[in-house]
């Protein structure tokens, strides 16, 4: 949704008489029956507040119907209420207000007989980590299923409150949630902006306010073809989602599920949709008698229930499902297809087709997350992937991989080794350059190694979407490092590491961010890219295009703040972001 347009949020102080009539009627018919106000006293103690629910704490004056003084009340906003209400309108402007504003206006009705002195919003975030006792664990599937309902009862870890809440109430909530002041955040605007998502529905007829519809590029060679394996065998296939369609990945699994020559399918599942076609194709494959092996990560945060459901469905269909390694999330994205391509000379000949990706096997996120995916028939990559799958099931000693880097075993050490190589190149007076992109950069030892590389003269360009602990551009410390972040129509999700490597451009696509957990507490992979054309494509589209993006945000190492290059409004209006250029390139 674009920022401009005739759209107006109307606060209750600006409602017209007609607005008041409309909203009062709506309150009594649709809101009030769902509310549960609680005046606090000895018989009405502070209620349990659900994770991320929106609430009012209300200051009252007066006596209840039994003649007792009441000064505080609570009211939670039901999640099944719409967040926004469209107001009547005679012109082109779309006018709306929030359900919270309506409830605030009607508190005098809800607490009839009291004087409502003031009301303040707050929201608590609870620890969503699911506790599984390793000592008592016998079946992860069953244990996790029993823990899911506990998520709303975790310890409070953050409290967001209206900025004008008086200290007395802040102290009261702080004590109730057992939170120090450092975990209390004053919000001077709306708490929980996700509630404004409903605005899209109000504006669905205003096409000019939305990004133009975009259909990912879908090459004709993938349309309705059953010869998909010949395409991959001919040469490696690269996809840059969402600019390139995710449909070929779905098509690959669909064909494999029905192809009588396919003997085995192996796949990791970290996040997938509730109505995933990919999962349905795995079910079909198993029912067609193929050997199907899935590593399903049950501990994928907030997707546990979806993964539990699919794990059960897959098992019922005959799929062999394992849940990875307890304590080490399986975050690698891998799909392996083994196909019998026998000939007269070689009647037992098997071919291996591998799909690896920086993103999940999820058709929904593939439309809004940027990720790279590679389909290849490279035998050594397939062997590495096979070995990883086998050890995830057997829990045996990890083999020595030929091409892939795997966390928690070799990925970190290989990354350090490649940075060290660039350091030695720079010290020898030769060109040394590191380009990388990731979601987060927090691992201290990697940051220290990058500082060392910068001081040796290595040029380092980093695209870090989220948290970054590195301080770039500091003289005599990190002056050769630049850190960029891009916020646009799509969420930047891909991980790419590129080292100049004496002119050879050692390039890897990976599932891993540069964080301690990814290096040492997860199953991750980094996959080398060998074809020069594909390597160049990734460098141009996934790295250089973003480092040359004048709309990108740049991290200031001194202040820790992000800034954009200075341009006039006319100049900036004429600029295209890296994402916009990539969209145009696919038309």
Gyration radius of the chain's alpha carbons: 28
- Whether residue 56 contacts residue 193, with contact meaning beta carbons closer than 8 Å, is answered with no
- Whether residue 433 contacts residue 505, with contact meaning beta carbons closer than 8 Å, is answered with no
Residue position matching structure tokens 């599920």 = 257
CA distance 405 to 382: 13
Q: Which residues pair with 378 in a beta bridge?
A: none
3-state SS assignment for residue 121: strand
| Closest by Cα among 308, 305, 369 to 333 | 369
| Closest by Cα among 505, 468, 493 to 483 | 468
Residue 433 is among the residues annotated as catalytic for this protein: no
Helices (runs of H) and strands (runs of E) counted in the chain: 18, 27
3-state SS assignment for residue 322: strand
Strands 72-76 and 562-563: unpaired
Q: Which residues pair with 121 in a beta bridge?
A: 56
CA distance 23 to 37: 19
CA distance 324 to 334: 13
Question: Which member of 331, 362, 493, 500 is catalytic?
Answer: 331
| Closest by Cα among 294, 330, 291 to 314 | 294
CA distance 4 to 11: 19
Secondary element (H or E) of residue 7? strand 7-9
User: Which own/partner pairs from 174-181 qualify as long-range (CB within 8 Å, at least 24 positions apart)?
Assistant: 176/46, 177/49, 177/124
- Whether residue 393 contacts residue 293, with contact meaning beta carbons closer than 8 Å, is answered with yes
Cβ-proximal residues to 462 (8 Å cutoff; 6+ apart), any chain: 435, 436, 437, 438, 441, 468, 470, 472, 481, 482, 483, 484
The first and second tokens of residue 248, run together, are: 């070929």
| Closest by Cα among 218, 206, 281 to 250 | 281
Residue position matching structure tokens 């979806």 = 306
Please, what is the Cα angle at 541 between 251 and 469, to 5 degrees? 110
Strands (DSSP E) along 517-583, which ranges?
Answer: 522-528, 553-555, 562-563
CA distance 310 to 295: 12
- Whether residue 446 contacts residue 514, with contact meaning beta carbons closer than 8 Å, is answered with yes
- Whether residue 524 contacts residue 407, with contact meaning beta carbons closer than 8 Å, is answered with yes
The first and second tokens of residue 195, run together, are: 């509630």
| Closest by Cα among 329, 295, 298 to 520 | 329
- Whether residue 451 contacts residue 511, with contact meaning beta carbons closer than 8 Å, is answered with no
Residue position matching structure tokens 């000939």 = 343
Q: Catalytic residue numbers?
A: 331
């Amino acid at each position: 949704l674009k920022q401009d347009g005739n759209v107006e949020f109307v606060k209750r102080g600006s409602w017209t008489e007609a607005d008041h009539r409309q909203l009062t009627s709506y309150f009594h018919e649709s809101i009030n029956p769902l509310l549960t106000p609680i005046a606090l006293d000895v018989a009405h103690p502070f209620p349990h507040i659900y994770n991320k629910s929106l609430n009012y704490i209300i200051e009252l004056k007066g006596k209840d119907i039994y003649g007792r003084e009441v000064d505080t009340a609570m009211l939670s906003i039901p999640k099944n209420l719409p967040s926004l209400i469209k107001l009547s309108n005679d012109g082109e402007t779309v006018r709306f207000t929030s359900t919270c504003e309506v409830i605030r206006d009607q508190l005098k009705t809800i607490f009839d007989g009291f004087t409502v002195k003031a009301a303040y919003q707050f929201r608590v975030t609870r620890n969503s980590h699911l506790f599984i006792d390793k000592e008592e664990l016998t079946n992860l599937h069953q244990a996790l299923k029993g823990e899911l309902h506990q998520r709303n009862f975790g310890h409070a870890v953050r409290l967001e409150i209206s900025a004008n809440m008086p200290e007395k109430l802040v102290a009261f909530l702080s004590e109730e949630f057992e939170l120090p002041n450092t975990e209390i955040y004053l919000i001077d605007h709306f708490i929980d902006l996700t509630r404004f998502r409903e605005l899209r529905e109000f504006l669905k007829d205003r096409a000019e306010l939305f990004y133009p519809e975009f259909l990912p590029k879908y090459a004709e060679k993938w349309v309705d073809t059953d010869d998909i394996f010949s395409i991959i065998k001919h040469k490696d296939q690269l996809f840059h989602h969402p600019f390139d369609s995710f449909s070929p990945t779905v098509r690959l699994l669909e064909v494999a599920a029905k192809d009588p020559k396919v003997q085995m399918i192996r796949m990791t599942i970290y996040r997938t949709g509730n109505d995933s076609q990919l999962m349905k194709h795995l079910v079909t494959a198993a029912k067609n008698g193929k050997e199907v092996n899935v590593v399903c990560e049950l501990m994928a945060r907030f997707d546990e229930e979806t993964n539990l459901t699919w794990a059960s469905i897959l098992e019922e269909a005959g799929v062999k499902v394992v849940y990875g390694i307890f304590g080490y999330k399986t975050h690698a994205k891998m799909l392996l297809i083994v196909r019998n391509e026998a000939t007269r000379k070689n009647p037992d000949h098997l071919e291996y087709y591998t799909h690896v990706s920086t993103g999940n096997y999820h058709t929904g996120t593939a439309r809004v997350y940027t990720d790279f995916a590679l389909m290849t028939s490279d035998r050594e990559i397939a062997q590495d992937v096979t070995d990883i799958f086998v050890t995830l099931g057997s829990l045996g000693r990890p083999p020595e991989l030929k091409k892939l880097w795997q966390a928690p075993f070799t990925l970190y050490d290989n990354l350090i080794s490649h940075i060290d190589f660039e350091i030695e190149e720079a010290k020898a007076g030769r060109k040394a350059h590191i380009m990388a992109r990731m979601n987060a950069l927090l691992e201290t030892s990697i940051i220290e190694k990058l500082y060392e590389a910068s001081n040796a003269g290595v040029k380092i360009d980093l695209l870090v979407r989220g948290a970054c602990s590195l301080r770039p551009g500091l003289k005599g410390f990190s002056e050769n490092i630049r850190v960029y972040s891009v916020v646009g129509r799509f969420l930047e999700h891909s991980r790419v590491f590129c080292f100049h490597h004496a002119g050879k451009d050692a390039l890897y696509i990976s599932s891993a961010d540069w964080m301690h957990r990814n290096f040492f507490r997860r199953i991750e992979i980094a996959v080398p890219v060998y074809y020069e054309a594909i390597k160049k494509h990734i460098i141009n589209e996934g790295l250089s295009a973003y480092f040359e993006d004048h709309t990108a945000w740049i991290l200031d190492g001194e202040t820790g703040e992000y800034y954009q290059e200075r341009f006039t409004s006319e100049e900036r209006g004429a600029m295209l972001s890296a994402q916009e250029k990539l969209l145009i390139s696919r038309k």
